[in-house]
Amino acid sequence: MSARPPPAVWFVAPALAAIGAFFALPVFASLGLSLTDFDIYAIGDLRTLRFVGLDNYARLLHEPLFWTALANTLVFVALGAPLSIAASLAAALLVNARLVRWKGLFRTLLFLPVVTTLVAVAVVWRALYHPRVGLLNGLLGALGVAPIDWLGDPRFAMPALIAMAVWKNFGFNMVIFLAGLQSIPERLYEAACIDGAGALAQLRAVTLPLLAPTFAFVGISTAIGSFQLFAEPYVMTGGGPANRTLSLVLLMYREGFRWWNMGSAAALAFVLFALVLAASWLQWRLRPLEAQR
């Protein structure tokens, strides 16, 4: 007769069962799926399914659309994530400044875009970006700038999506930075002040080094989030113009759920996974010494 399991097992069982069944299992199944030619016929009759080894991955390497989507996604991450983090840090420093009043109000206002629905603000920004009647060109026109076809011009479409993403997301990291800033002991600034350090010197010698662990967290989470770019191009550009805003996840969605090429879509999903893993690893390796304790 075996002993009754301790009650703790029943506490974790529901969560672990759900994670196992609806996350872990599908992740491993996805790896298997990426090694098959699963397509719309296989949905109807699983016997048509064939094991194709690494063919899906090999085919991706010869698929120009894949390279386009990969390059677009990397551009979005490499430009969007640093810009977003810089905006977050600047906003946090402003809100946290000693002389500022109504800190709570500014914090809430700047955070507001974070809680909005991405699809809805994408619809709004599509209108703001309208070349003829959009508010943005209206404002720029008042400054003498010729109208720009933000979402229709291949040169501007990706920067336009990046600008919107920065607007939508910077508030989240701002709050994380604020938490980091408020955990820096006041006496360090007092000591720096006595040593004659000005505001800029304090920023360099005290604030930024002590924010290092926050940077590590913010960097990884922002990069991971950016790799998953989907709703913005889906709603605003459909991946165009000339595929300039086609992202990996949008391509995966089309392959998998429009054309039901689940095998090659799963291979795309694993490319995404590899990128996220590489980004996490890179940042873990590059994290500043202070955070390596």
Binding positions for another protein, 185-244, rule CB under 8 A: 214, 217, 224, 227-228, 230-231, 234-235
* Residues 68, 74: Cα–Cα separation, whole Å: 10
Instruction: Please identify, using beta-carbon distances, which residue of 82 and 113 lies nearer to another protein.
Output: 113
State which of positions 130-149 bind another protein (CB under 8 A): 132-135, 137-139, 141
- Min CB(204)–another protein separation in Å: 18
Cis peptide before 241 (omega within 30 of 0): yes
- Min CB(168)–another protein separation in Å: 9
146: which 2 tokens? 């010729």
* Amino acid identity at 263: G
- Min CB(195)–another protein separation in Å: 20
Is residue 256 part of the contact set for another protein (CB under 8 A)? yes
State which of positions 55-114 bind another protein (CB under 8 A): 91, 94-95, 97, 99-101, 106-113
* Residues 225, 244: Cα–Cα separation, whole Å: 20
* Residues 194, 72: Cα–Cα separation, whole Å: 49
Which DSSP category does 36 fall into?
A: B
Residue that has been written with the tokens 């913005």 in this structure: 232
* Residues 123, 112: Cα–Cα separation, whole Å: 17
- Min CB(198)–another protein separation in Å: 11
Is residue 246 part of the contact set for another protein (CB under 8 A)? no
* Residues 134, 83: Cα–Cα separation, whole Å: 24
Is residue 123 part of the contact set for another protein (CB under 8 A)? yes
- Min CB(256)–another protein separation in Å: 5
Is residue 179 part of the contact set for another protein (CB under 8 A)? yes
